[in-house]
């Protein structure tokens, strides 16, 4: 698929096909025509915005964006990202893809348009990996494979990527004996997916200006040389964090240079113990309302002022969660009293404040390590993907601020509206040919 077609949004078959060799656009395996792809029913699209509708513009706020990330399904399923239209794709797509992570399984499948011989939509859903058998396989069984509920085609392949693709392979083969289960390399899929979103999907990638509390969509880049796209650092935040340096589109042009075990799983685990939140969305809502200054020890709490000599501001977090220890120590001064129970201890603090503190500390830490890894290889662009972010304002603020602060403005943090689906989209696009 030639770049220029998607880049300027108009079909010019054959034009500039020599520009760049896309991993997913290898002519031998290409099954999917991404030409003119766009986010479906998007309030931010140029067609749907007008001058009267000023608040929905290409410069918008994160709060508004959050409303335009999720998709509602007829079956009441809302934990999904917006569909993507592929208006020029006409042939059948006989595969679906799964990215089976440590906590979540992300699913991508395609349906053709009812009313037209051409075009269709990519669908996105996610499930808890713990419920792989009861939910993921059941969904596949009911809707996709056995009953052929996706019109005009039969699923012949399931493309599986992510850590669990190996672990669940036997189970999938047993459940779908007529379907080929093909494992796709995790890193390759993540990068294919990200390259697709960067180069093909308008209003997908955005940056956040924390001074003005505005997001700005990136133009789908007019790519004429490799330098317009590469090199970059992909920071994928799922249960854990992987950092991948990408210097070009070829198979050997990427490397996992680091990571961190402090990721989404850490935040979810701690908050599921320390709060009454039932799921991650509730945790994020709590964090939104909380004040970390009741939990974290700030530079001002220690110094009574800024520590000017080394440029630490008084509201800089000196130690995450450190006020908790101090406060509990103070409460226990009466030696005759019985030790506090865990519920009594927790009652001293606001769940919302605890959520905000932990969200900050995990996000700050990822931002700092991302910066250090990026400067090590002189990478100026950092893309944050994975299901940890979920368009959440404080997370995006913290990551943007950390990259900006540490790099003194030299590096830039980029985010995606389909942040959790890099791997599954990559597997979907790479197609059934084994890599």
Piece in contact with its own copies (CB under 8 A), picked from 32-40, 117-125, 313-321, 392-400: 313-321
> Which residues, numbered 131-160, are part of the site for its own copies (CB under 8 A)?
none
Least distance from its own copies to the Cβ atom of residue 29, Å: 21
Least distance from its own copies to the Cβ atom of residue 104, Å: 11
Least distance from its own copies to the Cβ atom of residue 237, Å: 10
Q: Any contact of residue 401 with its own copies (CB under 8 A)?
A: no
Least distance from its own copies to the Cβ atom of residue 245, Å: 12
Q: CB-wise, 60 or 355, nearer to its own copies? A: 355
Q: Any contact of residue 304 with its own copies (CB under 8 A)?
A: yes
Q: Given candidates 51, 174, 273, 408, which one binds its own copies under the rule CB under 8 A?
A: 273
> Which residues, numbered 361-380, are part of the site for its own copies (CB under 8 A)?
361, 364-365, 368-369, 372-373, 375-376
Least distance from its own copies to the Cβ atom of residue 260, Å: 7
Which residues face 105 on adjacent strands? 100, 127
> Which residues, numbered 237-266, are part of the site for its own copies (CB under 8 A)?
238-240, 256, 258, 260-266
Q: Any contact of residue 328 with its own copies (CB under 8 A)?
A: yes
Whether a cis peptide bond, with omega within 30° of 0, leads into 37 is no
Least distance from its own copies to the Cβ atom of residue 267, Å: 8
Least distance from its own copies to the Cβ atom of residue 296, Å: 7
Q: Given candidates 326, 377, 380, 434, which one binds its own copies under the rule CB under 8 A?
A: 326
Of 109, 122, 119, nearest in space to 83 by CA: 122
Q: CB-wise, 20 or 243, nearer to its own copies? A: 243
Least distance from its own copies to the Cβ atom of residue 402, Å: 11
Least distance from its own copies to the Cβ atom of residue 238, Å: 8
Q: Any contact of residue 314 with its own copies (CB under 8 A)?
A: no
What HEC string does the chain produce? CCHHHHHHCCCCCCCCCCCCCCHHHCCCCCCCCCCCCEECCCCCCCCCCCCCCCCCCCEECHHHHHHCCEECCCCCCCCEECCEEECCCCCCCCEEEEEECCCEEEEEEEEECCCCCCCEEEEEEEEEHHHHHHHHHHHHHHHHHCCCCCCCCCCCEEEEECCHHHHCHHHHHHHCCCCEEEECCHHHHHHHHHHHHHHHCCCCEEEEECCCCEEEECCCCCCCCHHHCCCEEEEEECCCEEEEEECCCCCCCEEEEEEECCCHHHHHHHHHHHCCCCCHHHHHHHHHHCCHHHCCEEHHHHHCCCEHHHCECCCCEEECCHHHHHHHHHHCCCCCCCCCCHHHHHCCCCHHHHHHHHHHHHHHHHHHHHHHHHHHCCCCEEEEECCCCCCCHHHHHHHHHHHHHHHCCCCEEEEECCHHHHHHHHHHHHCCCCC
Least distance from its own copies to the Cβ atom of residue 300, Å: 10
Q: CB-wise, 69 or 262, nearer to its own copies? A: 262
Q: CB-wise, 43 or 258, nearer to its own copies? A: 258
Q: CB-wise, 71 or 352, nearer to its own copies? A: 352
Q: Given candidates 16, 45, 272, 435, which one binds its own copies under the rule CB under 8 A?
A: 272
Q: Any contact of residue 274 with its own copies (CB under 8 A)?
A: yes
Q: Any contact of residue 17 with its own copies (CB under 8 A)?
A: no
Q: How many CB atoms lie within 10 A of CB 128?
A: 14
Q: CB-wise, 97 or 103, nearer to its own copies? A: 103
Q: Given candidates 187, 189, 194, 427, which one binds its own copies under the rule CB under 8 A?
A: 187
Q: Which two tokens stand for residue 367?
A: 């931002």
Do residues 101 and 419 make contact, with C-beta atoms less than 8 angstroms apart?
no
Of 357, 336, 101, 136, nearest in space to 237 by CA: 101
Piece in contact with its own copies (CB under 8 A), picked from 21-29, 151-159, 273-281, 379-387: 273-281
Least distance from its own copies to the Cβ atom of residue 268, Å: 4
Q: Any contact of residue 278 with its own copies (CB under 8 A)?
A: yes
Distance of CA 93 to the CA centre of its chain: 25
> Which residues, numbered 97-116, are part of the site for its own copies (CB under 8 A)?
101-103
Q: Give 145's contacts (C-beta < 8 A, 6+ positions apart).
A: 155, 176, 179
Q: CB-wise, 182 or 205, nearer to its own copies? A: 182
Q: Given candidates 138, 214, 345, 412, which one binds its own copies under the rule CB under 8 A?
A: 345
């Amino acid at each position: 698929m030639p770049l220029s077609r998607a880049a300027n949004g108009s079909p010019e078959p054959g034009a500039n096909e020599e520009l760049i060799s896309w991993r997913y656009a290898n002519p031998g395996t290409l099954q999917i025509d991404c030409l003119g792809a766009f986010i479906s029913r998007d309030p931010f699209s140029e067609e749907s915005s007008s001058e009267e509708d000023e608040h929905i513009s290409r410069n918008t706020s994160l709060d508004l964006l959050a409303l335009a990330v999720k998709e509602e399904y007829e079956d009441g399923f809302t934990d999904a990202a917006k569909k993507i239209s592929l208006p020029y794709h006409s042939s059948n797509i006989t595969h679906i893809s799964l990215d089976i992570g440590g906590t979540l399984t992300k699913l991508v499948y395609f349906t053709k348009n009812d009313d037209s011989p051409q075009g269709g939509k990519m669908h996105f859903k996610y499930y808890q990996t713990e419920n792989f058998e009861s939910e993921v396989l059941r969904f596949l069984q009911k809707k996709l494979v056995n009953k052929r509920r996706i019109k005009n085609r039969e699923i012949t392949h399931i493309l599986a990527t992510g850590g669990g693709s190996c672990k669940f392979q036997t189970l999938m083969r047993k459940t779908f004996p007529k379907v080929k289960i093909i494992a796709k390399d995790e890193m390759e899929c993540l990068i294919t997916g990200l390259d697709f979103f960067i180069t093909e999907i308008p209003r997908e990638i955005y940056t956040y200006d924390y001074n003005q509390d505005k997001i700005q969509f990136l133009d789908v880049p007019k790519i004429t040389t490799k330098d317009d796209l590469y090199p970059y650092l992909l920071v994928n935040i799922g249960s854990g964090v992987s950092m991948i340096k990408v210097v070009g589109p070829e198979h050997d042009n990427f490397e996992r240079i680091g990571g961190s075990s402090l990721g989404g799983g850490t935040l979810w685990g701690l908050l599921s113990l320390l709060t009454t939140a039932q799921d991650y969305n509730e945790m994020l809502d709590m964090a939104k309302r909380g004040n970390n200054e009741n939990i974290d020890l700030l530079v001002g709490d220690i110094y009574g002022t800024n520590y000017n000599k080394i440029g630490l501001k008084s509201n800089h977090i000196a130690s995450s969660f450190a006020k908790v220890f101090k406060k509990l120590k103070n409460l226990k001064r009466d030696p005759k009293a019985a030790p506090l129970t865990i519920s009594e201890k927790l009652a001293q603090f606001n769940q919302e404040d605890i959520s905000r503190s932990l969200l900050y500390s995990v996000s700050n830490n990822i931002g700092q390590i991302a910066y250090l890894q990026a400067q090590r290889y002189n990478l100026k662009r950092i893309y944050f993907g994975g299901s940890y972010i979920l368009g959440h304002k404080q997370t995006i603020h913290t990551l943007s601020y950390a990259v900006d602060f540490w790099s003194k403005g030299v590096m830039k943090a980029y985010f995606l509206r389909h942040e959790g689906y890099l791997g599954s989209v990559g597997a979907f696009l790479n197609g059934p040919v084994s890599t």
